[in-house]
Chains A and B, each alone.
Chain A
């Protein structure tokens, strides 16, 4: 199974400041079809997960443009350009290249300083 490792696991950020979350996979996430199925999810307190980013860098509909994804191969990053109060929650990366099983990172808890 592909192991997804996120860092940091806790991320205190000042409102208006940038934030960055790293996700590393135990093997390359490049699929035989040429795509890289690395996704990012946000889970606000008490809510279901919501997908933010798919295939490394594509924002889902309705996702603010302050969220961006980048990376390749085994190293990926989610960046928030200016953190807002509504961004508080846990962020997960997930790989959909080598499945089953789909595997998630441990989660990064973003909180406001």
Chain B
């Protein structure tokens, strides 16, 4: 059974940093593109970033480019999202998803940026 378990969210002040993790199991992690998708409270789904299987290719939404860094540790079957210079607009539930067409999703981790 595929499992994606996000962690690392919490309350952070504007300008702060946070690192999210997504622990994957039940599939060959290194074989899949992985994405981060976020959902602001009461809003829709917005793609944030993607990374290919070996970590050599990454892409970001314009809204997070230069502030967020996606990475992965295939030995540990874990996906990461390093988030810097956070603003209130980054407040959202962050989901990791598997595959180029988002076949599986984690339960999400809530990031709240507020003073």
Contacts and interface: CB of A to CB of B under 8 A. Distances in A.
Contacts of A34: none
Contacts, number: 59
Interface residues of B, number: 20
Interface of A is mostly: loop
A102 B45 CA distance: 10
B100 interface: yes
Contacts of A90: 44
A96 B100 contact: yes
Contacts of A48: 95, 105-108
Contacts of A54: 101, 103
B25 interface: no
A102 B105 contact: no
A101 B95 CA distance: 16
Nearest to A90: B44
Nearest to B44: A107
Nearest to B50: A100
A96 B102 contact: yes
Interface of A: 37, 39, 41, 48-51, 54-55, 60, 90, 92, 94, 96, 99-107
Given A48-B105, A49-B102, A102-B50, 17 more contacts: A39-B102, A41-B102, A48-B106, A48-B107, A50-B105, A51-B104, A54-B103, A92-B44, A94-B45, A94-B102, A96-B101, A96-B102, A99-B47, A100-B60, A102-B35, A102-B102, A103-B47
